Amino acid sequence: MTMARTAERAISPVDVSDIALYTEDRWREPFAMLRQDMPVSWCPDSPYGGYWSVVTHDLIQEVELNHAVFSSSWDNGNIVIADPPPQSNLPNFIAADPPVHTDQRKVIAPAFNPSQMAAQEKVVKQRTRELFDALPAGETFDWVEQVSIPLTIGMLCILFDFPWEERHDLKRWSDYGSNVSPETATEEYRAEWMAQMGQMLARFDEEFAKRRAMPPTDDLLSRMVHSQAMGNLNPMERLANIALLIVGGNDTTRNSMSGFVEATNLYPAELDRLRADRSLIPNAAQEIIRWQSPVTHMRRTAVSDTVLGGQPIAKGEKVIMWYISGNRDERVFADAERFDVGRDNARRHVAFGHGIHRCVGARLAEIQLATLIEEIVERGIRVEMQGPPERLPSPFLHGFVHMPVRMVAA
């Protein structure tokens, strides 16, 4: 027996992967209890098997920085609490360790640099304005369907230089790519998943072929085909990296946009503050990402026996970094539950992760969110929720299925 298996473990009294905690919005208390009593704890039994929970801001960062022990590529890359069915892992760079990760990330990252993003900001602004012009005034509508989804997909179309008419395909592929709830582990779902992913790859391969035939540019897809590290990926690797970019950008930004509406309904004075001082808007974008934490967790797997926060972790065990909890850590964020657009350390949130895998699209997401907030402020409106939202049944994505709202004068 290893050292790790013999030592006593702190056993969590609650399974924080339980979907009901998120659909019923009851996750705050269990995480507060874990942060207080057991920052690292073992949950022996869950729909996803046994797993470690890491719930404080400092220990989450410790795991992120120790990628030699806490691996992203274990068993071909399992990076969320649910293990994919055998042989269906997506071999993309988020599910890789150095040096593969380093080489592939280097290809992608410059497409998100500040000058590239500045060019996209104008188009994002224009699309946001057009979308608001077309929203039903004085009627109840679904914010998720009519604002968060189209704006986020629009952002991805801009990023990939993809025709707007094909946005529904991007959305469908993203939804298939990101669904990790246990109900999806059926043969039927798997077959449909394969079909959808095949369609997606075929469509992107057309775009890759176009870029390959032209001289290299700074465009994201062009960078990929013309690079050493990503120019000759096999079909599964191409598919995996496209899925990563689509899924990575989609649900995350979408649910932050919806989170902003919930936050400003719970804390209406924060919208007044933004109206009085627009220079707070970029910080408000950071704060909503902290407050919403649309990615509840990422997972690593220990490649050797180790100790974290005094707890013995054995080789092969799942280690879940609960960002949603780290972002409520009172030792870092005073009055952490409060949505505070002037919070001076909002940027310290771990919603984008930390270390070598920290979100490559962070700047794009911030621009899209700041643009949305600016639009609401400039129009002098308030988005009022007309009933409780329907929340996503997922242990991985923290967000909304539907949110009935009405726009009123502020």
Q: Which of 30, 248, 326, 395 binds ligand HEM (CB under 6 A)?
A: 248
Mapped onto helix, strand or coil, the DSSP state of residue 248 is helix
Q: Which two tokens stand for residue 382?
A: 């308030």
66: closest CA among 230, 309, 374, 340?
A: 309
Closer of 289 and 381 to ligand HEM (Cβ): 289
Query: Closest by alpha carbon to 243, among 108, 90, 112?
Result: 90
Q: Does 177 bind ligand HEM (CB under 6 A)?
A: no
Structure token pair of residue 101:
């990760």
Say how many residues touch ligand HEM, by CB under 6 A. 28
Q: What is the DSSP string of 252-310?
A: HHHHHHHHHHHHHHHSTHHHHHHHH-GGGHHHHHHHHHHHH-SB-EEEEEESS-EEETT
Among 9, 27, 56, 64, binds ligand HEM (CB under 6 A): 64
Q: Is 354 in the site for ligand HEM (CB under 6 A)?
A: yes
Q: 99: cis peptide before it, omega within 30°?
A: yes
Q: Does 62 bind ligand HEM (CB under 6 A)?
A: no
157 belongs to the binding site for ligand HEM (CB under 6 A): no
Using the contact rule CB under 6 A, the part of the chain among 210-218, 308-316, 356-364, 399-407 near ligand HEM is 356-364
d(CA 152, CA 114): 19
CB 383 within 8 A of CB 270: no
Helix (H) or strand (E) holding 299, with range, is: strand 297-302
DSSP at 282: H
Q: Which residues are CB-neighbours of 214 under 8 A, at least 6 positions away?
A: 222
Report whether 94 contacts 72 (CB < 8 A).
yes
* Distance of closest approach, residue 105 Cβ to ligand HEM, in angstroms: 5
- Is 405 among the residues that bind ligand HEM (CB under 6 A)? no
- Let me know the angle formed at the C-alpha of 52 by 47 and 55, rounded to the nearest 5 degrees: 110
Hey, which residues between 360 and 389 contact ligand HEM (CB under 6 A)?
Answer: 360-361, 364-365
SS3 string, 10-51, reads: CECCCCCCCHHHHHCCCCHHHHHHHHHHCCEEEECCCCCCCE
Least Å distance, CB 140 to ligand HEM, is 26
Tell which one of 93, 260, 291, 333 touches ligand HEM (CB under 6 A). Answer: 93
Among 256, 301, 325, 394, which residue sits at the site for ligand HEM (rule: CB under 6 A)?
256
Using the contact rule CB under 6 A, the part of the chain among 196-204, 246-254, 333-341, 395-403 near ligand HEM is 246-254
Residues 308-337 that bind ligand HEM (CB under 6 A): none
∠ CA 340-346-348, nearest 5°, is 155
Do residues 117 and 282 make contact, with C-beta atoms less than 8 angstroms apart? no
| Interface residue with ligand HEM, options 127, 343, 357, 382 (CB under 6 A) | 357
Residue 105 in contact with ligand HEM, rule: CB under 6 A: yes
The verdict on 39 binding ligand HEM (CB under 6 A) reads no
Residue 74, SS3?
A: helix
Binding test (CB under 6 A) with ligand HEM, winner from 253, 283, 301, 327: 253
Question: Can residue 358 be called a binding residue for ligand HEM (CB under 6 A)?
Answer: yes
| Window contacting ligand HEM (CB under 6 A); options: 31-39, 223-231, 293-301, 305-313 | 293-301
Q: Are 291 and 256 in contact (CB under 8 A)?
A: no
Based on the shown chain and the rule CB under 6 A, indicate whether residue 220 belongs to the binding site for ligand HEM.
Answer: no
Q: Is residue 397 near ligand HEM by the rule CB under 6 A? A: no
Residue 172 touches ligand HEM, criterion: CB under 6 A: no
Q: Please, what is the minimum distance in Å from the beta carbon of residue 252 to ligand HEM?
A: 3
- Binds ligand HEM by CB under 6 A, chosen from 282, 353, 389, 395: 353
Single out the segment in contact with ligand HEM by CB under 6 A; choices: 55-63, 135-143, 249-257, 399-407.
249-257
Note whether 61 and 355 are within 8 A (CB): yes
Identify which of residues 6 and 228 has a Cβ nearer to ligand HEM in the complex.
Answer: 228
Distances (CA, A) of 45 to 13, 165, 277, 291: 11, 45, 49, 29
Q: Which residues bind ligand HEM (CB under 6 A)?
A: 64, 93-94, 105, 159, 244-245, 248-249, 252-253, 256, 289, 294-295, 298, 351-355, 357-361, 364-365
